[in-house]
Amino acid sequence: MSRLQRLALFDLDNTLVDRVSGFRLWALEFCRTHGLEPAEAEWMVEADGDGLVPKETFFAQVRERFSLADSVEELWARYRRRHSALIPACRGALAGLAQLRHAGWKVGLVTNGFADVQLRTIISSGVAEHVDGWAISEAEGVRKPERQLFEIAAERCGMTLAAGGWMVGDSRVADIGGGQAAGLRTAWIDRGRLWPDEVGKPDHIVADAAEAVALILAQLPA
């Protein structure tokens, strides 16, 4: 195997931070403050579609289901301020990043999302202290899987994509497809899912970021 430079890029949501848990905490809090049954939090988790349902759509549904007087914009604004503060780092993820950097790796973050939300998540979860740089799609005007966002993250780490590296994430298209197109080796966090076919298979399929870190370190000993 040719020797790769020590650059490891990571996705944020459900890779380094447990967005699902944070969303559930937010939904439970929302139910409490609006006098709703706690069970409605699970309906909200479903309706959120793993964060992929547009928030205008989501909050329009929430407003209608619970007959709320607040506008979609007000509900969304409060959510933007609060949700990110409730998202914890994934178990073992921060320790893994620390291990990588200790072994001389540069660690970067490549994430699709709103600049204010992602930045708050990066800081409040503790991820900020464990990475060398990040690229957030809204702030840069380009989204994964486009190569440019990976390139920006690499540059923020003082590197380029030319000498390769790794991309770790849970999205098949944005993280794995994008990482491959950017010339990176890839590790897919399966979250209990199966890779659907032989096409575009990642180099590795792992349970979480900590396992990806162990693999990366094992393949390129310090």
Distance CA 26, CA 64 (A): 19
Contact string 64-93 vs Mg ion (x = CB under 5 A)? ------------------------------
Shortest distance in whole angstroms from residue 38 CB to Mg ion: 26
Query: Which residues ranging from 191 to 210 are in contact with Mg ion (CB under 5 A)?
Result: none
Residue 148 tokens, joined: 């440019």
Q: Which is nearer to Mg ion, 11 or 132 (CB)?
A: 11
Distance CA 195, CA 94 (A): 26
Burial of residue 173 (number of CB atoms within 10 Å: 0-12, 13-18, 19+) = exposed
9 φ, ψ (degrees, to nearest 5): -105, 145
Which of 9, 14, 159, 182 touches Mg ion by CB under 5 A?
14
Shortest distance in whole angstroms from residue 102 CB to Mg ion: 25
Establish if 11 lies at the interface with Mg ion (CB under 5 A): yes
Three-class secondary structure of residue 204 per DSSP: strand
Query: Which residues ranging from 144 to 173 are in contact with Mg ion (CB under 5 A)?
Result: 170
Residues of this chain that bind Mg ion (CB under 5 A): 11, 13-14, 170
